Amino acid sequence: MDTTTTRLKLAVIVASNRQGRFGPAIADWFLSHTAQHTDFAVDVIDLGDPGTDLPTALSHDPAPAVRDRLATISPTLAGADAFVVLTPEYNHSFPAAIKNLIDWHVTEWQAKPVGFVSYGGMSGGLRAVEQLRQVFAEMHAVTIRDTVSFHNAHGHFDETGRHKDPTRPDAAAKTMLDQLAWWALALREAKSVRPYTG
């Protein structure tokens, strides 16, 4: 495989499964930016989708129904070269659904970069991101320094889901995606020479 010409596989994870969540509006905005970034081929894993609902009791021998759900999620994670987690902040932390998804997987995260798009109140979800950095470090993933963050997110978008003043968030998204692509390609090329042993 020519790692310099094959598009990078990006998995965008919508981390909230809360009823009435604002995540889909943020996701639509962000996916419009990934569509313009020619380095990436994008898959979306929406944790609000009932098909992604995993039990909180982990198991080395999951029940058939759980194996069926993992079969729709795990291959996408395993095949991804990079991830973006789109997360709100709940009680100074991240949603349980994303921690559950992380914990059901191990090698799928290793030696891959993770970017973040966060939203919330005054903090813009940044406390959730800082905690997720620690979790992903334990999974042998590399987190991207620059993030996209929406403080008081509801006020930034109109009723059609369009950002009212997109100049700064558009620039932040491009910066993060450029860094993500650099790390994803560098790590993919490194693993093609020497497999990662996590």
Residue 84, number of CB atoms within 10 A of its CB? 30
What's the pLDDT at 5?
60
Q: Mean pLDDT across the stretch 99-127?
A: 96
Q: What is the pLDDT of residues 138-156, one digit of tens each?
A: 999 999 999 999 988 778 7
Residue 20 placed within a domain: no
Least confident of 96-105, 154-163, 168-177: 154-163
* 97 belongs to a structural domain: yes
Domains in the chain: how many in total?
Answer: 1
DSSP 97: H
What single DSSP character describes residue 23?
H
**Dist. CA 99–CA 85, nearest whole Å:** 11
Kindly report whether the global pTM for this prediction surpasses the value 0.75: yes
> Measured on CA atoms in the order 16, 133, 131, 36, is the torsion positive or negative?
negative
CATH number for position 157: 3.40.50.360
CB atoms within 10 A of CB 104: 20
Establish if 184 belongs to a structural domain: yes
The helix/strand/coil state of 133 is helix
Find out whether 82 and 114 touch, Cβ atoms under 8 Å. Answer: yes
198 occurs within a structural domain:
no
In this structure, is residue 3 part of a structural domain?
A: no
The verdict on residue 123 lying in a domain is yes
Range of the domain at 155: 9-15+25-58+66-193
What tens digit of pLDDT does each residue of 35-66 get? 999 999 999 999 999 999 999 999 999 999 99
The backbone region for 20, taken as left when phi is positive above 0, alpha when psi lies in -120 to 50, beta otherwise, is left
The answer to whether the beta carbons of residues 77 and 114 sit under 8 Å apart is: no
